Amino acid sequence: GPKVLQIPSHQIIDMGQMVTLNCDPVSNHLYFYWYKQILGQQMEFLVNFYNGKVMEKSKLFKDQFSVERPDGSYFTLKIQPTALEDSAVYFCASSPGQQNTLYFGAGTRLSVL
């Protein structure tokens, strides 16, 4: 089936540093999402993105977070600066349209030390 690729699978950084998580969504999909999952807990919506713009973001999407997809390349989540509480697995997802199936990537485990 359609695959969403996330790079890297695991990232370890020191608190205060910047990190960029990369997502290669399904090629013909138009809507892109980031979710945050702390171990064993639910996935929490961060942001969705369409046509080059953020459509909706949650309270978890702090000012230190930003997303972009320059020229149809990777859909990225940047955190600058990182904090200890940012440690989690971040899942990228994409869908062909609104209210369509979301396809999730394998996640990037972010460890902030």
Could you list the residues that contact other proteins (CB under 8 A)?
Answer: 4, 33, 35, 41-45, 47-48, 55-56, 58, 91, 98-99, 101-107
CB of 54 to other proteins, least distance (A): 11
CB of 49 to other proteins, least distance (A): 10
What is the spatial distance between Cα 40 and Cα 42, in angstroms, rounded to a whole number? 7
Closer CB to other proteins, 28 or 99, in the complex: 99
Q: Would you mind telling me the total number of residues written for the chain in this entry? A: 113
Closer CB to other proteins, 19 or 92, in the complex: 92
